[in-house]
Structure 1
Amino acid sequence: MEDDTERADPGTGTEVSRRGVLLGLAAVGGIAAVDVGGFLYAKGWLTPDALTSSRIADRFEQLNGKHEGFRRNHAKGLSATGYFESNGAGAAVSTAVVFQPGRVPVAGRFSLSGSLPGATDANATVRGLGLQFTLPNGEQWRTAMLNLPVFLDSTPEGFYERLLASKPVAGTGKPDPEKMAAFLAGHPETAAAMQIVRQHPPTSGFGDSTFRGLNAFGVTDAAGVTAAVRWMLVPEQSPESADQAQPGKNYLFDALIRAVATAPLRWRLMLTIGEPGDQTNDATKAWPAGRRTIDVGTVTIDSVQTEGPGNARDINFDPLVLPVGITPSDDPLLNARSAVYARSFTRRSGEPAQPSAISVEEVLDAR
């Protein structure tokens, strides 16, 4: 993606300089990127059938209704704070300041996928963890990760079509099986990714989940050599199986709140270095086992907060907010994610803020 180019969203006609927006926001605290640009994929933009960030945001609203003040996806969440302690090992592959030895603050958000802010927790629902690293040179690194081994779609079109196919049918609350079967028949990459996901059942909660960035990026070392990379957070907490749902509508979040109140949670940040031939433009494909992996430090979460003004509720975890030394790959999902996240932020920031379904204070008072 060319950050310095002017782009127009077919849905709005608004031109923006993406880098200019991000730099301006960084100067005032950098809590959100409000790039309202759309994105282009395959058949071209400025055409009547172009897929835009607005159309994808609209689709989330159509699936489960419009919920003002909340993200259009991963609406249910809990804010968090902590720090990242770099051991310096990442400096071997990247000049990014975040990989120099030392500690930097992080703001995070745990979430569940879906557009219902009051949905009942379920083990099978995809879990998310967004992090913002604030670096001493004024840069930021933002990343949005999932507890999946691979992503289910390789293109923005595929993602959009899966949303269409997965719309719940009145009376059953589940997708139309014929529509889903037709979608999978036309998207064998998604069918294969679903098989991989089924082989990696979820753990008992947020604290023992492994979170992966899924998309590929580039890292450039001091000699100017760039390599493909994917990253993941591996929990220091011992994983436990999630055999059945626990009592309570918010049991996953309640358990997270109680755990952090007892002791900080920690994850090892691991970089997996790709080799020539490893796909960087398809997040449904896992890289072969045995790729070089570097342990670059520890992410510690030592506090969680009910979502509200000034915490991670208001952070846009745009995957293209990157420090010097980390660059986007050719994965088409990156531009799409960036644009849709920005569209979601723009909409919710202009709506009345609604209270979160999860209250840290209520959970701790009930202990």
Structure 2
Amino acid sequence: MEEQPLGRGQKVLRLGAIGLVVAGIAAGFAWVGGWLTPGRLTQARVIDGFEAANGRHAGFRRNHAKGVCATGWFDSSGAGQRFSKATLLAPGRVPVVARFAFAGGMPFIADAPGLVRSLAIQFKPVQGEEWRTAMIDIPLFPFADVDAFYAQMVAATPDPATGKPDPRKMKAFAAAHPDFVAAGAVIGKRATSSGFANSTYNGLNTFLFVDRDGRQVPVRWSAVAVQPFAPAGAQDRADRNYLFDGLIADAARQPLQWKMVATIGDAGDAVSPNVAWPDARQRVELGTVTLDRLASEDGGSCTDINFDPTVLPSGITTSADAIPSARSAAYARSFLLRERERAAKPPSAVTETEVRQGGKS
């Protein structure tokens, strides 16, 4: 059947839906020092804005607020050595600390299939330089630059009278940013899996691998689930933590694994994270991440880790994509705030008792 063109009302609704999809990841890409001039946007104003949108939750991360810790190891295949001199990419095993979470600043939000999921990993060799990466389960970032992101955040601010974004503002933003609409269409078509364990997580940003001769290649990486994909099912409204409980149960049955895959770009490929690279680009399997133990953030191994994406070993460096630097600054600010508030922090949504009992507490 031939697809019918969307009416004006349908277009507005679709734009609103795209805005909701990306709203959950917005806090992780805040502008702080260096992104915009202090007169236009300060770090304090950004934090105030996030707290106005999500509420103030003392002791929690300002983004990716609801999560659990995990530990395990990375078995490197050695295949990455062709492109990078990073010692942790040599054949062998490296311990890792990881964190599963939802994007957004609400630590007690009820689990839902449409929430953006994240996997952050710290690779920390016993002797050597560590690597930290933060990945989410969407295929690309829907903004070309920070100015577009800020404009969309303003347009999507809920109207006090309705509690929802003003469709006219969203329509105006979309008209001025057709690349946002194109990226949102790609994101909207993604297949959402049934849980954290069988989700694939993407780094989104462009980095550079550097070999022993100083040659550089652009790279994007992903954690591709070994667990078989199953589509998202009905939400368990009786269990506010049902996706986390599913993850806990999955990990109790067997260790969970992801293949770390690097996509090697060409020199002319887009650095902007809202543009996908061609499917024909070479993919290199760097090794396998295995996570076999979960813990609540209430004292878990990931609690005091700031998953700053610019913490990189020699052999991996940032590119002209400036978003990782902005995330670094935002994460640092969030870390300092929650450390100061440690004494006031209530128990996390997913408690240690819940983890020990294999799911529902």
Contact 1:56 1:160 in 2 (8 A): no
Unaligned runs of 5+ in 1: 1-36
Offset, 1:363: 5.3
Which one of 319, 322, 346 corresponds to residue 332 of structure 1? 322
Distance between the aligned counterparts of 1:180 and 1:216, measured in 2?
Answer: 28
> 1:277 is paired with a residue of what secondary structure?
coil
Q: Distance in 2 between matches of 1:86 and 1:187?
A: 41
**Are residue 354 (structure 1) and residue 342 (structure 2) matched?**
no
- Correspondence list, 1:16-165, <5 A: 38-41=32-35, 45=37, 47-49=38-40, 51-165=41-155
Opposite residue 97 of structure 1, the aligned amino acid is: T
Structure 2 residue aligned with 1:3: none
TM-score using structure 2 length: 0.86
Distance 2:240 2:180 in 1: 30
1:272 aligned onto 2:266 = no
TM-score (normalizing by structure 1): 0.84
Query: Shift in Å at residue 130 of structure 1?
Result: 0.6
Q: CA RMSD in A?
A: 1.8
Letter paired with 1:127: R
Aligned mate of 2:282, from 262, 283, 292: 292
- Measure how far apart 1:345 and its partner are: 0.9
Specify whether residues 54 and 332 from structure 1 end up closer, same or farther in structure 2 by C-alpha distance, changes over 3 A only.
Answer: farther
Say if 1:195 and 1:253 are closer, same or farther in 2 by CA, change over 3 A: same
Structure 1 counterpart SS, 2:94: strand
Give the match for residue 317 of structure 1. Answer: 307
**2:332 & 2:34 partners in 1: Cα distance?**
15
Asked if residue 301 in structure 1 is aligned to residue 291 in structure 2, the reply is: yes
Identity rate, percent: 45
Give 1:359 shift: 2.0
Query: Which runs of 5 or more residues in structure 2 are unaligned?
Result: 1-30
Compared CA separation, residues 90 and 240, structure 1 to 2 (3 A): same
Aligned partners of 1:190, 1:335: CA distance in 2, in Å?
22
Partner of 1:239: 229
Conserved in 1, the CA contact under 8 Å of 2:298 and 2:351? no
Q: 1:160 to 1:348 in 2, by over 3 A?
A: farther
Amino acid at match of 1:265: L
Which digits, 9 at most, give the CA deviation of each residue in 1:41-74, with x for residues without a partner? Answer: 3xx63x511x343333222111121111111111
| Structure 1 Cα separation of the partners of residues 355 and 160 of structure 2 | 34
Superposed displacement of residue 190, structure 1: 1.7
What letter matches 2:348 in structure 1? S
Residue 159 of structure 1: how far off its partner (Å): 2.5
The 3-state SS of whatever aligns with 2:303 is: helix
CA contact (8 A) 2:298 2:352 kept: no
Count of residue correspondences: 326
CA shift digits 1:248-300 (9 cap, x unpaired): 111111100111011110000000000021011x1110001110100010001
1:33 is matched with none
For 2:44 and 2:329, the matched residues in 1 are separated by 9
Per the TM alignment, residue 197 of structure 1 is displaced from its structure 2 partner at its CA by 0.5
Q: Is the 8 A contact 2:138 2:201 kept in 1?
A: yes
Q: 1:170, CA displacement in angstroms? A: 4.7
